[in-house]
Structure 1
Amino acid sequence: MNDGAVRTGGRVLDLFQGARLTPTQRRIAHSLVQHGASAAYLSAAEVAELAGVSQPSVTRFAMALGYAGYPALRRELRSLADVPASPPETGENETQRALRAESRHLERMADDLGDLGAVEQAAALLAGSRPLPVLGLRAAAPLAGYFGYFAAKVLPDVRVLDGGGTTLLDRLDQARAAGATALLAIVLPRYPREALDALREARELGMAVVAITDSAVSPAAESADVALPAPVGTQLVFDLHTGPMAMAMVLLQAVCDAAPEPVQRRLEEFEATAARRHIFEA
């Protein structure tokens, strides 16, 4: 999406923040966000086809948001699409514009984190899980490894699940058998099917699911007990994941805050071990 489409998608997403949506309604919302301004000019039947749902589902979705019906919601979407975009930064190249868009994403995340309730709820679930499996496939695999590397300094058994295939569900089974009560899943566009299947399997196994994903209406949010939205940058050839990486560290900070004494003890043990083994130069 171009910068204007990203801004429009963000405005549309604001309509759904805090709404309690069914899985079907999440699919509708996700389609509207993904298609930005163009979605504001679609009929209810066209939106239904886009989201793969029935036309009455689109009407019920609009009413769940407090509108009299889909036409009223469409008028609101059109008004958002017609809001003038901020003037482009003159003299800046594509790379600069992409990085400035990331700055706006982080500012928006900071505003949303004025209420830390969801982060603290997620941290409480993860802090009590022994072991703690951390799932991230394809584009999300490096972020799962990043979180897992630091989490292992403060938690006794962190298991990074960054490979798909037939063994992924086996590793979930093994984590559950070892006592895991929660799963952290980082699921980013284009939403690997294996990752979504793994979230559903974790729920079937009785594990709570915390998902870091790009929006509150992503497919991963459907299977999550707590979803932590962190937008991705879309202005370069490949996505920028500054937001999800920042959210991962915010969540880990909250995990540490949930159990400060054992965390401090493990950090001190790690530092002593690192000094004895001369792991770092400085």
Structure 2
Amino acid sequence: MELLSRIRAEQGELPEALRKVAEVILEDPAEAARMTIVDLAERSGTSTATITRFCRALGFSGYAELRVTIATETGRAARQQWATDIGQEIRPDDGLDKVLGVVSNSDIRLIQETAAQLDLGTVEKVAQAISRARRVLLFGVASSAAVAGEMEYRLQRMGVPTWSRSDAHSALTDAALLDDGDVAIGISHSGRTREVIEVLAEAGSHGAITVAVTSHPRSPLAEVAELVLTSAARETTFRADGFAAIHSQLLVLDVVYVAVAQRTYERTKEAFDLTVRAVTGHRYELPRTPEEPDRPAG
């Protein structure tokens, strides 16, 4: 995960003093990269010892290493800005061309950030668990429920016994019936949705492999999960973080889905062939010119 994305994702879970440092860095990363350790301490209202603790919390040996990393990322971001960022604000009188640009460029940037931070080793473990699972349970509420439903459809098409739930009572009863080797996936942008945390904890108590999909790797949901997959999110006008996270969450789960398909290739191919034939009669045939040969249905 890139440093600034990581700071943005984890700042809500940091102690208050470290959170103040994170806020100053995120407010103007390029300026923060030019500050001395004393400057940053004064700007954040903390101390040089706090800055050192902040660096170590992020895995850096000291402030110099942190500054170099921030400077590298901000320099790269500045070079890419012309293609990926035309601002995040949408005014009531903006034209639809501006709206399209802000929304599409924001989504492109978030997908790029998600791809850069995605832990492929964890993706491998999740895909292996799903490919062997007797049952897979997906749970999310609000916008995350739609993401869970999409993943349910994809896994079912390849023959994986999968259920998605958006009601906490139904999800809890399903979680209680899971067993060793089953998989429970909880989806929550904030990682603080109580119902999702409860469902994952219930599933884990019965031996299921638990997976969190969240934008906050230090959140309570991540704490109860065995495996954590992170997605990027940043709000724009009229689109809060949770809405902005949908495409990133779908990217994460789409990579998992394809990885499962790779590991169950023969079973998946057979399932796809069967399902395509099942719906062939519900598709209109395209008109043929006289010289065209017959086409197979599909």
TM-score (norm 2): 0.66
- Structure 2 residue matching 1:231: 3-state secondary structure: coil
- Cα distance in 2 for partners of 1:231, 1:25 equals 13
**Deviation of 1:35 (Å):** 8.9
Partners in 1 of 2:226 and 2:102 — Cα distance? 35
Give unpaired runs (5+ residues) of structure 2: 30-39, 88-94, 286-298
Equivalent in the alignment of 2:5: 13
SS in 2 for 1:152: helix
Q: 2:24 and 2:143 mapped to 1: Cα distance? A: 19
Distance in structure 2 (CA, Å) of the matches to 1:169 and 1:215: 23
The 5-angstrom pairing of residues 106-185 of structure 1 reads 106-112=111-117, 116-164=120-168, 166-174=169-177, 176=178, 181-185=182-186
Give the structure with higher Rg (CA).
2
Residue aligning to 1:261:
266
How far off its partner does 1:254 sit?
0.6
Distance 1:229 1:195 in 2: 16
3-state SS of paired residue (1:235): coil
Partner of 1:186: 187
Contact 1:210 1:227 in 2 (8 A): yes
Match of 1:36 among 23, 26, 34: 26
Sequence identity (%): 18
Say which SS state the counterpart of residue 229 (structure 2) adopts: strand
Report the count of equivalent residues.
250
- The 1-side partners of 2:234 and 2:11 are apart by 25
Whole-Å separation in 2 of the counterparts to 1:62 and 1:158: 42
Q: Which residue in 2 is equivalent to 1:63?
A: 56
Deviation (angstroms), 1:220: 2.8
Using the alignment, how far apart are the partners of 1:216 and 1:153 within structure 2? 30
Give, as a single letter, the amino acid of the residue that structure 2 aligns with 1:13.
S
Per the normalisation by structure 1, the TM-score is 0.70
- Structure 1 vs Structure 2 CA RMSD: 4.1
Residue aligned with 1:189, SS: coil
Which protein has greater RCO, CA pairs closer than 8 Å, 6+ apart? 1
Equivalent residue, structure 2, for 1:52: none
Which amino acid counterpart does residue 56 of structure 2 have in structure 1? M
> How has the CA–CA distance of structure 1 residues 208 and 193 changed in structure 2, closer, same or farther, with 3 Å as cutoff?
same
Go from structure 1 to structure 2 and tell me whether the alpha carbon gap of 1:37 and 1:153 turns closer, same or farther (over 3 Å shift): same
Instruction: Identify unmatched segments of 5+ residues in structure 1.
Output: 1-8, 18-23, 46-54
